[in-house]
Each structure stands twice: as structure tokens, then as C-alpha cells.
Amino acid sequence: MYELEKEKYLGNTKKIFNNTQGIAVIETEYQSKVFEGWHSHDNAHITLFLKGGTSERRKNSSKAVTSGSLLFYHSDELHLNQNTLFPSKNINIEIDENLIKELQLSEAIIEKSVQNTTLTKFLILKIFKESLISDTFSADTINMLFVQLANSHSHLEKFEKSPFWVKSLNELLNDCWNENPNLQDLAQVLNLNPITISKHFSRYFGCTLGEYMRRIKINRSLTLIESNQSNLTEIGFQCGFADQSHFTRTFKSQTGFLPKQFQKL
């Protein structure tokens, strides 16, 4: 077993930002085979895979990790990675145990928040973008973004305890991710009063209908951009945006990056 110290990962570390307040942002690349045995990390951390993938095993589970995958690791949690695709790249958000205590959080709460997949992904990208800016305000900004991420578990809990129609609506919205449905259309499909959706949507989804649909569209666009099978204008249209400028503005507001910048990561 191999225990990795703080801010240490098996791949090639490209960049490290440490805000000295308990959060480190580590960009890691995998260009060739690395240690494939059981290992752990001193600090809890969240990993977002940007490119490539791997086969991961933990004590009681195994999964295929691909571009866009989000993972949470408890401090000292054993895991191993095999059959890694090259090149692979990920972003690691490492959280010191003292900060977790100071914010009155727990690793379990952070793990729960990571399950709010799309929002967590966008907040990690914003944290990464801020680490690249690395100016006077970046340390505090990163902490504020992390607090927002950690607190997203409350909306997830409300969603899990929601009425039956909420989960049906979520499935419907994800199925029509490249369309632009309105309240009347959605209500008709679900046999609901539009006022019911309008009144309760933000309670269970944590945002407005428009914001949620934009998140879904931009999340889909991340995979399309990474695949390099279409240009950015085509991707914007595929995701249901009326024009390139709307796609670009929305992408930046959600992720912190322009589509062209994300394409080059």
C-alpha cells in the first residue's frame, strides 16, 4: 500500500494552487503508466476527470471512470486505478481536515454534495479557473465557491424527498436537453397545472427552470467539446442555443471558461 502526502498524486502534477486556507487545487496529467496498486491520500478530495479515463476499484466497488466523471475520496480511503487511457487529465480539489471542522462540515456532507453532479462539476471548473487567475482575491473566492459546493447537499436532500412529479420532471428535462420546453409543454406532458411547477420548482431544484435547462445543456456540451467531433458553433446549435454568442455567454457563466478556453485544457 502506498500513502500519498498532501498535494501528491500518481500522475504528473501540472499546476498546484494552495490558498493557505485549507483548499488546494491540483491539475494532474497521465501520459504513461503509473503505479497501479492500492494507495490512499492524506486529505479528502474531489476529482473531476477532464480527459481520458481509468478503471477504478475501491474496497466494495469498482467503476469505469470517463471524461466528465466526478469522484469523492475520503481521507486515507484505499483505491487503485488500472487500464488508464493516455493521455488522461483531472482536477483535484483537496480539502484539509481543519477547514472541514472550521466550516462545521463533514466528509459525508461533502460526499453527498458531490452527488449534485452537474452543479458540482461547474463549481469545480470555476474553482479551477480562479486558481489559474491566482490574484489577490482568488483564495477567498475559491473558499466561497467551495462553501457553495458543500452546501448544495441541502437541495439534493429536498429533491430526494420530493413528490413523484419532481423526479418525472427531472427525467423529462434531461431527455429533452437539446430542446427549449416551456411550462405549458411540461405541464401537459406530466398532467400537472403549470402553476404547480412554477411555484415549487426552485424548492426542489435549487434554481429556476431556465437556469436548470442551461446547466443541462452546458453539461452536455462539455462531452461534445472533449470529443472534438464538432466545432463550437455546431455544438451550440446541437445543445439548443439560438446562436453562438448565447452559447458562449452561458458556457462562461456556468463554468468560468469560454468554450475555446475549455477546449484547450
pTM of the model: 0.94
Which residues have CB under 8 Å from 20's CB, separation 6+? 139
Reply yes or no: is the peptide bond before residue 259 cis, omega within 30 of 0: no
pLDDT at 19: 86
Segment 77-86 mean pLDDT? 96
pLDDT at 119: 94
2-155 is classed CATH 3.40.720.10: no
Query: What are 176-207's pLDDT values in tens digits?
Result: 999 999 999 999 999 999 999 999 999 999 99
At the topology level, CATH places domain 162-263 in Arc Repressor Mutant, subunit A (1.10.10)
Domain boundaries, the chain: 2-155, 162-263
Segment 241-264 mean pLDDT? 96
Query: What are 10-62's pLDDT values in tens digits?
Result: 999 999 999 889 999 999 999 999 999 999 999 999 999 999 999 999 999 99
pLDDT at 20: 87
CA angle 41, 80, 35 (to 5 degrees): 85
Which residues have CB under 8 Å from 31's CB, separation 6+? 11, 12, 86, 87
Q: Are 9 and 28 in contact (CB under 8 A)?
A: yes
